[in-house]
Structure 1
Amino acid sequence: MTIRVFIVDDQHLVRAGLRMLCETDDGLAVVGEAATGSDAVRLAEQLTPDVVLMDLRMPGMDGIRATAAILAARPATRVVALTTFDDDDHLYPALAAGACGFLVKDASPADLLQGIHRAAAGDHPFSPDVLRRVLDSALAARTSPPQAEAVAPSGLTAREVEVLALVAEGLANAEIAQRLHLGITTVKTHVTNLMAKTGTTNRVQLAVFGIRPR
């Protein structure tokens, strides 16, 4: 099935570059572009994209508010936030708004394409350095993720506690599998169970849960 991609960025050159990149992948089809958050919300309703590549910094309605509005109207849409190295202030708000992942704009073409496919498949693509910065920021601020306040960590198994601690360190599933001598599929199952038990909806929220004070 072809993945319908919608590109949102206020810079024409960025949009053009992302469009050309997507056009190199037969599994992707760019269904539209928008330069503002308000246009993104309006067009997303009309174009019904599978994945939205969302710039966070835009005049008027920014990418965070646009993400929240798009997902309020079409919850099944997958929004991947596009960030820069100096955009840390927008990362956790975008996560709270419902973004399923973060990719840096200067990531390699292969990583960007892979991130789109992972998002469409229900995964949570994160550039490793961005994930680490989100966790560092959350640790410094002791910020609790949405929906996690009422969850008791005592409900976790010993193995889930181990996996949670490694997720909180920013390790990927493959790294966790290697560290704990488990299969990747087993680690994915643990992560899925952890999200269900902690009330988190993606990997970053789960990682933040893992480092919040008890």
Structure 2
Amino acid sequence: MEKVRVFLTDWQILFRAGVHLTLAAEKSYEIIGEAATNEWALDFIERHQPAVAILNADHGELTGAEITKRVKRNLPSVAVILMMDGYGDEKVFTALKSGASACLSKDVKPDDLLKTVRGVVQGEYPISQWILQPVIASQILNEFEIFEKLRDKMSSLPVCLSSLEAQILQHISSGNSLVEIARKLDISEDIIRQRLYTILGKLVANDRNHQLK
């Protein structure tokens, strides 16, 4: 069976070595390259096209989110995982808009890292679960309002939220749980999770169109 090709960048040598050892212990992964800074990442990823790129979110002249936007614009099939020194609402929101498949804290357990890598290889976007945080949901609603005001400055018309998607975000921002939202809107939790993926896709598309103008 062909191994999953992974590229890794982080300024901390010991952390990078730990991720390398964790993945190398699984026969299904192959580390095809490493770098200490994100500045090296874009050229390597474009030349070698790994299935997964694990990037540092916080350090370097180019942030992980900036690299992710460029990678996803040119190579949408590459799944990007952003590693953070610590979670923060603004950092997570920036990661959401970048098109990253997942973001993890650098104190992540090895089993959780492997689970995330397996998921993104299969096309999952674990990062979408952050939309269930009230602060993040509020930021997304505000972002779509901004996109609407910037219609003339975007390369194409902004993708709008559907009525159901807006209601879901409003309920989340009010502090309602997944179970409560499903009951209030008379829909299944699976439908809500599917809509989170759709909301994420629209958020990324609008941000990209704005950047391209």
Query: TM-score of the superposition, structure 2-length normalised?
Result: 0.69
Contact 1:132 1:170 in 2 (8 A): no
Relative to 1, partners in 2 of residues 1:178 and 1:144: Cα closer, same or farther, differing over 3 Å?
closer
- Superposed displacement of residue 180, structure 1: 5.4
Secondary structure at the aligned position of 2:126 is classed as coil
Write the distance in 1 (CA, Å) between the matches of 2:7 and 2:127. 19
| C-alpha spacing 1:162/1:103, structure 2 compared with 1 (3 Å) | same
Deviation at 1:140, TM superposition (A): 6.5
Q: CA deviation at 1:63?
A: 1.3
On the 8 A contact 1:38/1:61 being kept in 2, the answer is yes
Q: Is the 8 A contact 2:96 2:128 kept in 1?
A: no
Question: Does structure 2 conserve the Cα–Cα contact (< 8 Å) formed by 1:88 and 1:134?
Answer: no
Unaligned runs of 5+ in 2: 149-157, 205-213
Q: Name stretches of at least 5 consecutive residues in structure 1 with no aligned partner.
A: 206-214
Letter in 1 for 2:50: P
AA aligned to 1:46 is: R
How far does the alpha carbon of each residue in 1:17-65 deviate from its partner, in whole angstroms, 9 at most, with x for none?
1100101112211111112222000111122111111111222222122
Whole-angstrom CA distance in 1 between matches of 2:132 and 2:15: 23
Residue in structure 1 matched with residue 135 of structure 2 by the alignment: 136
Report the Cα offset of residue 82 of structure 1: 0.8
Q: Would you say how many aligned residue pairs link Structure 1 and Structure 2?
A: 189
- Could you tell me how far apart the structure 2 residues matched to 1:142 and 1:167 are? 11
1:134–1:61: structure 2 CA closer, same or farther, 3 Å change rule? Answer: farther
**Letter matched to residue 138 of structure 2:** L
Q: Give yes or no for contact 1:104–1:127 (8 Å, CA) kept in 2.
A: no
Partner of 2:38: 37
Separation in 1, partners of 2:125, 2:12: 25
Matched, 1:51 2:52: yes
Distance 1:165 1:70, change over 3 A: same
* 1:151 aligned to which of 125, 147, 160: 160
Is 1:191 the counterpart of 2:200? The answer is no
- Cα RMSD, aligned residues only: 3.7
| Letter paired with 1:151 | C
Q: For 1:165-205, what per-residue CA distance to the aligned partner results, in whole angstroms no more than 9, with x for missing partners?
A: 7776899xxx9579959xxxx75455335644x5x318x97
Tell me: CA distance 1:127–1:82, structure 2 relative to 1, closer, same or farther (3 Å). farther
Contact between 2:182 and 2:192, CA under 8 Å: does it hold in 1?
Answer: no
Contact 2:135 2:173 in 1 (8 A): no
1:32/1:47 contact within 8 Å kept: no
Q: Distance in 2 between matches of 1:147 and 1:177?
A: 30
- Going from structure 1 to structure 2, the CA distance change for 1:53 and 1:170 (only over 3 Å counts) comes to farther
Work out whether residues 178 and 189 of structure 2, in 8 Å CA contact, stay in contact via their aligned partners in 1: yes
Shift of residue 98 of structure 1?
1.3
Question: How much does 1:134 deviate?
Answer: 6.2
The match for 1:209 is none
Q: TM-score, normalised by structure 1?
A: 0.69
How far apart, in 2, do the equivalents of 1:2 and 1:133 lie? 33
How far apart in 2 are the matches of 1:19 and 1:56? 17
3-state secondary structure, aligned to 2:6: strand
| Matched residue SS, 1:82 | strand
AA at the equivalent of 2:58:
R
Does 1:201 find its partner at 2:201?
A: yes
Offset of 1:120 from its aligned partner? 0.8
